[in-house]
């Protein structure tokens, strides 16, 4: 009984010890919690970034794969030629080979078949450059009909229809010797005139035309060939082409002469698509300054007769090939092309019996000389 009171004081001590131990345990748990919480927050911050990085890498891989596929397709497309029959030609253009024009290198002809169409400004610049190049190639260009005055040039131009200038030049000396003036020809015997001009072909119709011209010049213009286009086209057998030849070469009035050669070449050069001579004349006049019209006509005709022929153009020997969109329509081998050159370019006589002093070729032989 006496020992019980002595044990009571120990209980508060135990409770205090338990409280201290609990507090210590709590602090340790808190410390551990804080320590473990920091990596957890950092990991939480890193995880989204890792996810974003992984997504970016995945997107890059997909992009690279897509690009690789596209590159393979492009390479296959470049390697494969267009699905066209061999030798297929775009309308009005050169043959297409493997997506490129036959010329391949340089200038207007080096464009791919599906390239953007040439603008009008670019065409005008190219056309004027061709004119400058032709001026260097043919500094001696001139009318290829022999004449001494406007009347002789007018008759020679009418006679040149459906024949060559050479044949006209071989025929007119006898005509001009027999009938030197409009008055002489107007009073001539038609049958005698026919016999003289027979070599030029269509001699009956031509006799009627030139004698009609002689009568009109004598009766309506006082024996002088008129110097205005509106007067010239009223004469028998005289159209705009003949009028422009006479005006440009006998009177110094600029004009475009649209003959067979001129029309063919300006369409090959893609200066116009017109076929009607008057429409061709109007479109070409709009491209060049008026001061160039007459000499441009001579240069283009010279080029058409000597190099850019109707059936076998000598493309391989053409000095303006880099500017020509129709390169490849003719012979492109330089050696073979040189064999196609005509007149002075090929070492042969020209068309005039009496060429200008600066003409580098040989005079044509008279009629019957072989």
Sign of CA dihedral 118, 120, 125, 130: positive
Given the residues 146, 206, 241, 292, the one annotated as active site: 241
Q: How confident is the model at residue 115 (pLDDT cuts 50, 70, 90)?
A: confident
What is the total residue count of the chain? 370
Contact by Cβ (8 Å): 288, 131: yes
Q: Which of 345, 298, 332, 279 is nearest to 131 (CA)?
A: 298
Active-site choice (146, 165, 259, 292)? 259
CB atoms within 10 A of CB 292: 19
3-state percent breakdown (helix, strand, coil) of the chain, nearest 5: 60, 0, 40
Q: How confident is the model at residue 205 (pLDDT cuts 50, 70, 90)?
A: very high
Encoded tokens for 75: 């390479």
Could you give the maximum distance between any two Cα atoms of the chain, in Å? 185
Please confirm, yes or no, whether 259 is among the known catalytic residues.
yes
Residue with tokens 């500094």: 139
pLDDT band for position 116 (50/70/90)? confident
Q: Would you tell me how many other CB atoms lie within 10 Å of the CB of residue 218?
A: 18
52 is catalytic: no
* pTM listed for this prediction: 0.70
323 Cβ partners below 8 Å, 6+ apart?
A: 107, 108, 126, 129, 130, 133
pLDDT the model gives residue 312: 95
Side-chain-facing half-sphere of 244: CA atoms under 13 Å: 21
Binned at pLDDT 50, 70 and 90, residue 94 comes out as very low
Residue-level pLDDT at 79: 41
Asked whether the predicted pLDDT for residue 342 surpasses 60, the reply is yes
Structure tokens of 180?
A: 């030197």
Q: What is the pLDDT of residue 369?
A: 80
CA neighbor of 170 nearest in space, from 188, 133, 194, 197: 197
**DSSP character for 363?**
P
Candidates 288, 303, 304; CA nearest to 256 is: 288
**95-99, 117-121, 329-333: lowest mean pLDDT where?**
95-99
Average pLDDT over residues 139-154: 98
- The gap between the terminal CA atoms of the chain, to the nearest Å, is 172
Q: Which of 30-44, 77-91, 107-121, 285-299 has the highest mean pLDDT?
A: 285-299
Report yes or no: 154 and 213 within 8 Å, Cβ to Cβ.
yes
Q: Which two tokens stand for residue 84?
A: 């066209």
């Amino acid at each position: 009984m006496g020992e019980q009171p002595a044990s009571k004081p120990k209980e508060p001590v135990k409770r205090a010890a338990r409280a201290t131990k609990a507090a210590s345990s709590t602090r340790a748990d808190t410390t551990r919690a804080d320590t473990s919480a920091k990596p957890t927050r950092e990991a939480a911050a890193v995880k989204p970034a890792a996810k974003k990085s992984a997504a970016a890498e995945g997107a890059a891989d997909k992009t690279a794969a897509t690009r690789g596929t596209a590159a393979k397709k492009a390479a296959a497309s470049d390697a494969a030629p267009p699905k066209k029959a061999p030798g297929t030609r775009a309308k009005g253009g050169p043959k297409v080979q493997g997506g490129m024009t036959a010329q391949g290198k340089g200038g207007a002809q080096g464009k791919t078949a599906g390239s953007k169409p040439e603008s009008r400004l670019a065409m005008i610049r190219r056309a004027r450059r061709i004119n400058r190049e032709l001026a260097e190639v043919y500094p001696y260009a001139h009318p290829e009909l022999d004449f001494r005055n406007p009347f002789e040039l007018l008759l020679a131009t009418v006679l040149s229809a459906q024949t060559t200038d050479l044949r006209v030049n071989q025929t007119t000396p006898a005509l001009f010797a027999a009938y030197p003036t409009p008055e002489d020809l107007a009073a001539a015997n038609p049958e005698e005139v026919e016999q003289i001009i027979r070599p030029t072909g269509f001699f009956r119709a031509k006799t009627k035309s030139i004698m009609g011209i002689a009568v009109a010049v004598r009766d309506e213009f006082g024996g002088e060939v008129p110097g205005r286009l509106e007067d010239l086209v009223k004469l028998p057998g005289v159209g705009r082409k003949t009028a422009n030849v006479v005006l440009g070469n006998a009177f110094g009035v600029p004009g475009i002469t649209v003959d067979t050669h001129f029309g063919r070449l300006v369409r090959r050069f893609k200066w116009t698509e017109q076929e009607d001579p008057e429409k061709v004349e109007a479109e070409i006049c709009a491209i060049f300054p008026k001061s160039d019209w007459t000499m441009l006509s001579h240069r283009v005709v010279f080029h058409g007769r000597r190099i850019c022929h109707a059936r076998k153009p000598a493309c391989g020997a053409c000095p303006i090939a880099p500017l020509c969109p129709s390169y490849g329509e003719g012979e492109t081998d330089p050696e073979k092309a040189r064999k196609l050159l005509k007149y002075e370019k090929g070492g042969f006589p020209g068309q005039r019996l009496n060429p200008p002093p600066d003409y580098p070729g040989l005079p044509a032989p008279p009629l019957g000389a072989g």
